[in-house]
Amino acid sequence: MSQPLPSPLPLEGLAAIVTGAGRGLGRAEALELARLGASVVVNDFGKTGRDGSGEASATPAEEVAAEIRAAGGQAVAHLGDVADHEQARGLVQLAIDTYGKLDILVNNAGILRDRMIFSMSEGEWDSVIHVHLKGHFNTTHFASVHWRERSKAAGEPVYGRIVNTSSEAFLAGSAGQPNYAAAKGGIVGLTTSSALALGKYGVTANVICPRARTRMTEDVFAGFQEPGAGELDALAPEHVAPLVGYLASPAAGGVNGQLLVVHGGMVAVVERPKVAAKFDTAKGVFTYEELDGVLSPYYAGRPANETFAASEVLGLKRG
């Protein structure tokens, strides 16, 4: 049972955008931000296929916005493709025009076009990079312009929060998702760069790797940790949304440039990569023979190049 919320609400008076919020994770995140007091722009392109196919529809975004309003919150819907630079500009402008400003940006929109690297077409690669990585860039760009201008006009930092969505596919590898894994790794780089660039304006940027059973991941998590009767699914999006609410809040003002894995009542803070081993040449420049002499024995002692099954990396068990 959730605890009573404090008064005033943690996000009261703040305006948020959540992309890809018509279903799944984005929907749960939009509802949570609204529950915490934020006014929300619910963005969703509304296409029916998880590969980005089908006709665009305002229905998913409008239904979530209506759900927020029915619960006493403030929300408007936005039908638009965040991968389109001008439509992303319009999304940010809608928040500013409707609520007078933008305070929180949650990037969640994405598609899947899975294929092994040797079978993937150029179009399958480009489309996933376009929606995930360029989509994150587009909204972040226009939000950051807004915050920088506000900060300069005020002569002091403003309130700004970015929460981006990556995936453990970039951490653990995903054999049939080279496009998705690459896009998600790029999002982490975008986030850490944005965190450094925007911190002086009062803006934080963090990135999450959520594990959730949604339309996007229904085959990935099929058979994993199925909930029992009356139990909340350990992979339900509702386990992820509270972390997004926290990162969007004033309480997380000191959290910046961080990567967090979240699912089923667990949050893990991921450290930046560390050097596992270091070798120095005995001469001025390494030779092939010297490298063979130090690196080959090192890797020979490591099990299968430390490649693990996805289920082992993700800590999941089939039901």
Q: Which residues are catalytic?
A: 167, 180, 184
Preceding amide of 237 cis, omega within 30? no
Structure tokens at 288: 């092939």
- Judge whether 166 and 181 are in contact, CB under 8 Å: no
Q: Whole-angstrom Cα distance, residue 33 to residue 156?
A: 26
Structure tokens at 75: 């929300």
Structure tokens at 262: 């979240």
The residue type found at 265 is G
DSSP H stretches of helix in the chain = 24-35, 59-70, 85-99, 122-129, 135-154, 168-172, 178-198, 241-247, 288-300, 310-314
The residue type found at 300 is A
- Judge whether 24 and 214 are in contact, CB under 8 Å: yes
Among the listed residues 206, 243, 245, the one whose alpha carbon sits nearest the alpha carbon of residue 30: 245
